Amino acid sequence: MEKAASLQRANQQHRLAEWSRRVEACRSSGLPVGQWCQENGIAVSTYFSWQRKVFQALKEVQEVTFAEVPVIEERTQPSGHIVAAMEVSGVRIQVYEGADGATLQAILQAAKSC
Tell me the residue range of the domain where 91 lies.
82-112
Residue 96, SS3 per DSSP = strand
Q: Helix, strand, coil % (nearest 5) of the chain?
A: 60, 10, 30
Nearest to residue 96, comparing CAs of 111, 85, 107?
85
Same domain for 58 and 7: yes
Query: Hey, what's the torsion of the CAs at 13, 14, 19, 21, to 10 degrees?
Result: 110
Q: Is residue 68 part of a domain?
A: no
Q: How many CB atoms lie within 10 A of CB 29?
A: 13
The pLDDT of 35-51, averaged and rounded, is 95
Same domain for 54 and 6: yes
Q: Is residue 31 part of a domain?
A: yes
The percentage of residues in the chain with a pLDDT greater than 90, rounded to a whole number, is: 32
pLDDT digits 0-9 by tens, 96-110: 887 877 877 877 777
Q: Is residue 6 part of a domain?
A: yes
- Mean pLDDT in the chain? 81
**Overall pTM > 0.75:** no
The pLDDT of 76-104, averaged and rounded, is 76
Same domain for 50 and 22: yes
Q: Is residue 77 part of a domain?
A: no
Q: Is residue 26 part of a domain?
A: yes
Nearest to residue 33, comparing CAs of 11, 51, 17, 12?
51
**Total of domains in the chain:** 2
d(CA 104, CA 75): 19
Res. 73: pLDDT tops 70: no
Same domain for 86 and 58: no
Res. 22: pLDDT tops 60: yes
The pLDDT of 30-45, averaged and rounded, is 95
